[in-house]
Amino acid sequence: MTTAFGRASEDNRAALIGYLPAGFPTVAGAIDAAKAMAAAGADIIEIGLPYSDPLMDGPVIAEAVHRALTAGTRVADVLRTVEAVAAAGVAVLVMTYWNPVDHYGVRAFARDLAAAGGSGLITPDLSPEEADPWLQASGEYGLDRVFLAAPSSTDQRLATVTKSCRGFVYAASLMGITGTRNAVSGQAAGLVRRIRAHTDLPVAVGLGVSNGAQAAQVAEFADGVIVGSAFVRRLLDAATPADATRAITDLTAELSAGVRRAPHPTASPRAVS
């Protein structure tokens, strides 16, 4: 992911990070959608690992995940999706709750994710204090590890989270579940500033961005803009696979234009290690 953020920084803009769950509307359909997203301008793609108890997911993503699980989507399908998208030339992360990784075997998951071309994991329910097996396995296989920081995080907590991250820091712009909103949280910029006091890693903001105008707003102060529910909604609303591809392409193009709309003031001087 260092390369993806570095390219965005060279372009004086934020990186666009899109999320889609594996297995929805089908395994092949998710792969096609992710490839369309990559072709239309996404810098990094998160592939969601469907899980039966998605605590952070709002109703849109939860519905898609439910359908993926009902259709029988498994970890092997997630890894196959990662492999296909990585082959398209875009950085790919897996967004997953910890239980499936623990059940699969932490070292085995790291090994198989690296073999598939994955860049790392985003683990919303794993705290750094409980992450020793993952820290060791990710180090062994050269994978990035992305932990979440929230507006309620104390400075001490931000120091702990950022120290454990590699790749970037995920700034959850508000408390609550995922889902599109009419406006970007007013807490987001302040949280990014607080995180940057503890790390030189890129900081990407997620939760609530659904259109180009919001992406442009976040790109003014963050190194990355994360969009999930808005993409999944396009898939839920699509009547045919062709409609799904067109909808994903159109939204990605809008968001990609948004992160390029105005110069990104923090990108040029920032480290991306």
Ordered domains of the chain (ranges, CATH): 2-259 (3.20.20.70)
Amino acid 55: pLDDT: 72
Residue 181: pLDDT band (50, 70, 90) is very low
Segment 168-193 mean pLDDT: 71
Among 10, 32, 53, 57, the one annotated catalytic: 57
Residue 195: pLDDT over 50: yes
Amino acid 185: pLDDT: 55
Q: Cα–chain-centroid distance for residue 83?
A: 16
Residue 144 annotated in active site = no
Query: Which tops the pLDDT comparison, 132 or 174?
Result: 132
Rounded CA separation 50/31 (Å): 15
Give the strand pairing for 148-149 and 203-206: unpaired
Q: Is this model's pTM higher than 0.85 or not?
A: yes
**Percent of the chain with pLDDT strictly greater than 70:** 91
Query: Which tops the pLDDT comparison, 198 or 261?
Result: 198
**Residue corresponding to tokens 């992305």:** 146
Segment 136-164 mean pLDDT: 96
Kindly list the distances between the CA atom of residue 98 and the CA atoms of 124, 127, 202, 219, in Å, as whole numbers in the listed order. 8, 10, 23, 29
Listed range (9-18, 53-62, 120-129, 142-151) with the worst mean pLDDT: 53-62
Rounded CA separation 78/101 (Å): 12
Amino acid 231: pLDDT: 97
Amino acid 177: pLDDT: 47
Rounded CA separation 46/92 (Å): 6
Residue 132 annotated in active site = no
Among 10, 11, 32, 46, the one annotated catalytic: 46
Rounded CA separation 44/172 (Å): 17
Mean pLDDT of the chain: 91
Buried b (16+ CB within 10 A) or exposed e, 134-171: beebbeebebbbbbbbbbebeeeebebbbebbbbbbbb
**Percent of the chain with pLDDT strictly greater than 90:** 84
